[in-house]
A and B are shown apart, each in its own frame.
Chain A
């Protein structure tokens, strides 16, 4: 039972952001345990991603390059990860908590009969055990959790960990075959529509978010302009989504997305507890609201009491000036 493994999501040769973060966290866990770090790079055309995994600090890389592994089906990746773990008995498996990573962790935990700690926002090593801090009750409470079985499987929340830095390290990956043939995989991917380069809320470094104070669908326009200037994603409170002012994909909060940007600008958002649950891990929160008693001001680093339809365009103009 030794070694730290990190699962590395990749698409078209590039390692996804959440897995660069996982590599960074995994390096620290491996160093604390005094054990080597092995990156698992499964997919199709994984050569560049294997090389990048060495560069991002892995001591060893196990690669699998097969058509069945393209697209990231859990029915292909799960059996391979479980088989390798059974054969080689790592102490720890870390996985970024993307939609794919969550499925993979659950699958592997079930097949290896071990526990899975989900969505860690901090990890430390204590007596050989990975202790994870994770939000529970939709971010209203925190929990220190750890796995008592082996291996210890922990998933890592998006944007909670710094991405691994390039080390210049190179190496030769060990290539293994797929665990399941296409005929034995019960799912077929028959269509895929990517996001077309749009910044998703969960990956966004900056978010401009609007609440009831925007007054209607057209009230999001000034926020959109500010977001464009900042390269930010556009967020929204549940009230505005329920009112049909903006699509659900923009919703931040307990029944929307959980986000953790470096900058969160909340405009016309009162800050209901359900909204706070989704954004309180943001590093710097700016609140703009007419109501000086709005709960959002209790969470914010900077506050402006005022009319968002005056303040937001002024901010857009000021940022334009400073960023050009």
Chain B
């Protein structure tokens, strides 16, 4: 059995973004504008642990994106994934989450012998968290979202702890499953020196839409109108006072006046 980890390349968390003519661009003060989606790092770590501790034959990293996304896949290889596959095709640009899910599901089927597909809980650019569930629906597998711990995997079933808004839920499910992880699951490892060297030389196979038998999807949502956040209205008011006590009194007065309290 192989385990697949689906990753996305996103702007770094420190990136500043701008929009011109509806096109989003970004730069990063640290000079590394693109990263593996930070939530996906937990899924990559867990995929490698499936190989190390749970008898998975291989941890395969899968990414849908433009050709530059092979950088994200090289990070996966450097961390310890044994294979990486990029799905990239101009025809697939502009996919919505369901289109993305159909593409990833087709790629997972082509990889074959997969029982577990892993995701981060959401991507920090689109921020929907819908893709893992939709991949599960397209594959006919069971989705297990917001997973904070894997209790056991045996005899074709898996038991996990999910962190929901209501609390911690322990769930047992039959394989195959699609899992999305939250931060509590693990501490992602850093790529090793050897890993980085090996990854830098790796040639990552690219699959087109035709290779996996999907056609250009018609997006069922429109999100083309992206714009900067308008500045917050009103100036800041600095609270005066000769002592902290006086400042506290003045601030509390303001908050009562504004009926915040």
Contact = CB atoms under 8 A, between A and B. Distances in A.
Interface of A: 11, 18, 71-72, 74-75, 98-100, 102-103, 105-107, 109-111, 113-119, 135-149, 186-195, 200, 202, 230, 248, 254-255, 262-263, 272-274, 280, 283-284, 286-287, 297-307, 310-311, 313-315, 317-319, 322-323
B31 to A, nearest CB: 16
A310 to B, nearest CB: 4
Given A11-B166, A116-B130, A142-B227, A137 B125 contact: yes
B101 interface: yes
Nearest to B240: A304
Interface residues of B, number: 77
Nearest to B167: A194
Contact of A188 (B101, B146, B172, B249): B172
B170 A103 contact: no
B14 A106 contact: no
Interface string B198-240: 0000000000000000000001111101111100101011110
A135 B230 CA distance: 12
B244 A311 contact: yes
Nearest to A110: B137
Interface stretch (B67-75, B80-88, B253-261): B253-261
B239 A303 contact: yes
Contact of B221 (A117, A142, A304): A117
Nearest to B256: A322
Interface string B157-181: 0010011111111111110000000
Contacts of B226: 136, 141-143
Contacts of B184: 248
Shortest beta-carbon contacts, A-B, top 3: A115-B221, A115-B220, A191-B170
A286 B248 CA distance: 12
B90 interface: no
A311 B24 contact: no
